[in-house]
Amino acid sequence: DAKTTQPPSMDCAEGRAANLPCNHSTISGNEYVYWYRQIHSQGPQYIIHGLKNNETNEMASLIITEDRKSSTLILPHATLRDTAVYYCIVKRNTGNQFYFGTGTSLTVIP
Amino acid sequence: GAVVSQHPSWVICKSGTSVKIECRSLDFQATTMFWYRQFPKQSLMLMATSNEGSKATYEQGVEKDKFLINHASLTLSTLTVTSAHPEDSSFYICSGGRGRPGELFFGEGSRLTVL
């Protein structure tokens, strides 16, 4: 599975959009981009995933660049409850072995 | 989303004892479940893949005799930490899917402290 690079930490003002970047320059054609988050002392929570088209659900939007070498997770109106570690994972859409990197620790500030 | 429940949420034990952690899928059947370990301020580390009705598959470097995994039914997987030592103190998390690739549901985690 391709390696990902994320900034270790970010801050975001409450109510503003949080844009979390992820670089995956070695991604291959059959690998998807997944985003999970982990609120402190809880199990991770699935957010969204995509292959090459932008995706949106009730939690977030995922923007994948045309060359697929990077992506951005957007939380449109961040709340204090969105404070968590966000993990970007690239893997093929077979099996469910997920290998987590170090993620981005997002702090939403009042 | 689907619900995965772990029990106990936290456990304290003496060094040398064994501890069992249960992972249940409450509203779906999981032929495969996964066990992770997370040390403070670190990321999750995949320990093993638990397969219903067959032996677990362990990640490189994880001692299978130390971390016994049993997946006897489609809704229950157990992790037993045998002869626990203080260095086994960690946050253990399980996950399962409904068969749709990429969509995993995680338990709340079980915090083990070995004295």
Report the candidate in B62, B106, B60 with the shortest Cα–Cα distance to residue B82. Answer: B62
Residues of chain B neighbouring A95 (CB-CB closer than 8 A): 101
Mean pLDDT (chain A, rounded): 94
- Higher model confidence: residue A41 or residue A95? A41
Residues 6+ apart with CB under 8 A from B80: B18, B19, B20, B21, B67, B68, B69, B70
Residues of chain B neighbouring A98 (CB-CB closer than 8 A): 34, 46, 95, 104
pLDDT score for A41: 87
Residues 6+ apart with CB under 8 A from A68: A24, A27, A33, A52
Angle at A69 between CA A68 and CA A74, to 5 degrees: 75
pLDDT by 10s per residue, chain B, length 115: 668 999 999 999 999 999 999 999 998 888 889 999 999 989 999 999 998 888 899 999 999 999 999 998 989 999 999 999 999 999 999 999 876 767 789 999 999 999 9
pLDDT score for B70: 92
* A17 min Cα distance to partner chain B (Å): 24
pLDDT score for A2: 67
